[in-house]
């Protein structure tokens, strides 16, 4: 009987015989200029994301099931099984690399980890199941659902069933979308992985060599990020991830900035 590793490698070889197509997808329910940060930087690097969900009721954290189901519909109706799908948060993501680099990095991780759904990772845990996370020496070891990438067939397993609105855990309690994704990852670690090496995706709370909220430079995962030759570099992992996510303090306004009141780490990096 063939081992699971041999089966995966055989499948991987067959689906990578030709270059897979990348779909970059996000959701937004209202027109908002902040979408220009992600969609605009993607266009600067030569690819054009799809935005779904306009006009639908949604609220942050607990009220995103409707928009997540729009992503689900896109996956099932607009993609082929071997395509690569990148989901990204609409308002606080910057691309510093293009489609070729993103696909290459994903294929490298997929081949090495033998996993076809990859989430990006942060240094703080939002789940009560912290002990269920796999061991790693990386600072960035906990799931953040603001960025994830994978084969369409793997995404279809994630979204096998439509999400309930409001979202509920196995006991019927309301949960955030972040925790819904976390539960899936922790229950399916044989098929899902985290980008703990920050090869493809990076959470950015502050940037040491640029503007940052001083009160948050010592937050977990905030140190070690600098700008070099116009790109953000992780000096801990020695990587230059093509996709950057600025959650929370990474995009909160700095009302005390000496030159640009209301700016934030994301916009200061974009200006640089």
Ranges of each domain in the chain: 4-199, 203-271
Please state, in angstroms and rounded to a whole number, the distance separating the CA atoms of residues 41 and 104. Answer: 19
251: tokens are 């995009």
Q: Using the structure block, give the residue that is written with the tokens 């041999």.
A: 6
Judged by phi (left if over 0) then psi (alpha if -120 to 50, else beta), residue 258 lies in: alpha
Residue 43 host element (H or E): helix 35-44
* pLDDT given for residue 2 in this prediction: 53
**Quick check: 14 pLDDT over 60?**
no
User: Does residue 166 have a cis peptide bond before it, meaning omega lies within 30 degrees of 0?
Assistant: yes
Residue 26 host element (H or E): strand 22-27
**Quick check: 184 pLDDT over 60?**
yes
Instruction: Of 16-20, 123-127, 194-198, give the range with the top mean pLDDT.
Output: 194-198
**Quick check: 40 pLDDT over 80?**
yes
Instruction: Of 39, 181, 59, give the one whose Cα is nearest residue 121.
Output: 181
**Quick check: 69 pLDDT over 90?**
yes
Instruction: Of 21, 195, 23, give the one whose Cα is nearest residue 113.
Output: 195
CATH no., domain 4-199: 3.90.550
Is 144 within 8 Å of 90 (Cβ atoms)?
no
Instruction: Of 57, 83, 82, give the one whose Cα is nearest residue 70.
Output: 57
SS3 265: helix
pLDDT tier at 239, thresholds 50, 70, 90: very high
Full-model pTM = 0.90
SS3 209: coil
Residue 109 host element (H or E): helix 99-113
* pLDDT given for residue 182 in this prediction: 96
Average pLDDT of every residue of the chain: 90
């Amino acid at each position: 009987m063939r081992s699971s590793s041999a089966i995966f490698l055989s499948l991987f070889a067959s689906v990578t015989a030709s270059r897979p197509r990348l779909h970059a997808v996000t959701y937004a329910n209202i027109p908002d200029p902040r979408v220009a940060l992600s969609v605009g930087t993607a266009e600067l690097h030569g690819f054009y994301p799809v935005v779904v969900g306009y006009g639908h009721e949604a609220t942050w954290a607990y009220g995103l099931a409707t928009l997540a189901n729009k992503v689900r519909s896109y996956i099932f109706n607009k993609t082929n099984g071997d395509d690569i799908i990148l989901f990204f948060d609409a308002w606080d993501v910057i691309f510093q690399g293009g489609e070729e680099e993103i696909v290459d990095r994903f294929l490298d991780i997929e081949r090495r980890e033998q996993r076809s759904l990859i989430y990006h990772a942060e240094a703080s845990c939002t789940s009560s199941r912290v002990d269920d996370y796999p061991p790693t020496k990386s600072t960035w070891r906990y799931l953040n659902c603001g960025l994830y990438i994978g084969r369409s067939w793997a995404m279809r397993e994630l979204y096998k069933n439509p999400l309930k609105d409001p979202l509920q855990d196995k006991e019927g309690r309301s949960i955030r979308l972040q925790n819904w994704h976390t539960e899936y990852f922790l229950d399916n670690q044989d098929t899902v992985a985290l980008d703990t090496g920050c090869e493809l995706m990076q959470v950015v709370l502050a940037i040491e060599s640029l503007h940052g909220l001083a009160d948050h430079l010592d937050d977990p995962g905030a140190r070690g990020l600098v700008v070099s030759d116009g790109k953000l570099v992780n000096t801990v992992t020695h990587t230059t991830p093509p996709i950057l996510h600025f959650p929370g303090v990474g995009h909160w306004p700095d009302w005390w900035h000496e030159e640009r009141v209301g700016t934030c780490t994301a916009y200061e990096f974009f200006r640089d």
